[in-house]
Amino acid sequence: MAKDNVKFRTSIGGQALMEGILMRGVDRQSIVIRRPDGELETKVEPIHALRQRFPILGWPFIRGSVNFVETMVNGVKALTYSAEFLPEEEVEEPGKLDRWLEKHLSGEKAEKAVIGFSVFLGIVLAVGLFFMLPTVIAGLFTGFVKSRILRNLIEGIVRIALFLAYIILASKMKEIKRVWMYHGAEHKTIFCYERGLELTVENARVQPRLHPRCGTSFLFIVMIVSILVTTVVSWSNVWIRLALRLALLPVIVGISYELIKYAGRHDNVLTRIISAPGKALQRVTTAEPDDSMLEVAIEALKLVLPDEAGADRW
């Protein structure tokens, strides 16, 4: 596998939105949206990370879970914001819950309630679908498979299969295909910046769209680490196994985060092995962007570049 050939590795990262991109820098984040009229809508706000108030939350193996939750919260907020600029015919009518919240809460409180519920529901669905369900399915083999290691392997295979099926099915949606294109634009722009090139559409267009520090790679590493950890700590009773899976989830996320962080800082045989599965999956979760999407990504990145050169070094 070819080397990344970057001059330095930045801690700046992003997330594809509906017709836009969220870019998160050292001390601020930006959201840039392509409005229906073709113009760009930009929003910049300071970052208030929990680790700034509670330094212990920035310690290795603890910071992974904290960053994951913060990323989910910021991501849901950004997606909600980007949805405001969709053409009217694409915006769904408010549901009963939305109308109830608007009636009983102020606009700001209603928005916070919706975001909080969305994050909670997202975590519950993800844990239930990708961690609890595979454990239950693997439990069906208890009477036939006596080996604990083999049962955990079956569980891991089911988990990865469900995750891949979810990604592939989501890719069939027209709206998601455009999100994947913005995802590719984000990666290309980051690569352009890391290689010390001027941030132009022409320079970004020729960059790779598969990046080793992508969130997709992180999620895949979580799947692999979960197989290894649960093989060491397991139990025959399915209910105890479910409780163990929940208890070990912060540990799994913490280890996975440190691995992706190490892979992002170095370029060697080990890190290429770590990054390979996630980069292969990015062939599905990213797509070649058009020039207008690259313009959005470049603008989003420029808005969060640090005032002091090198302050964003990974």
Percent of the chain surpassing pLDDT 70: 89
Q: Poorest-confidence range of 17-31, 54-68, 145-159, 271-285?
A: 145-159
Task: Tell me the pLDDT of the chain averaged across its residues.
Answer: 86
How far apart are alpha carbons 105 and 21 in whole angstroms? Answer: 29
The CA distance from 294 to 40, in Å, is 12
Query: How many residues appear in the chain?
Result: 314
User: Residue range 237-262: average pLDDT?
Assistant: 89
Q: pLDDT of 27-63, one tens digit each? A: 999 999 999 999 999 999 999 888 889 999 999 999 9
Examine the pLDDT at 93 and tell me if it is beyond 60: no
CA distance 154 to 148: 10
CA-CA distances (angstroms) from residue 228 to 39, 128, 136, 184, 235? 48, 19, 18, 31, 14
Task: Say what the pTM is.
Answer: 0.84
Confidence (pLDDT) at 110? 59
Classified as helix, coil or strand, 4 is: coil
What share of the chain in percent tops pLDDT 90? 44
Which has more pLDDT, 20 or 130?
20
The least confident of 95-99, 115-119, 270-274 is 95-99
Q: Which residues pair with 21 in a beta bridge?
A: 16, 32
pLDDT at 104: 52
Task: Tell me which of 148 and 171 has the higher pLDDT.
Answer: 171
> Distance between CA 141 and CA 237 in Å, rounded?
12
Q: Is 306:312 a contact under the CB 8 Å cutoff?
A: yes
Confidence band of 2 (pLDDT split at 50, 70, 90): very low
What is the band of 183 on the pLDDT scale with cuts at 50, 70, 90?
very high
Determine the Cα angle at 270 with ends 265 and 274, to 5°. Answer: 80
- Give the residue-averaged pLDDT of 262-279: 85
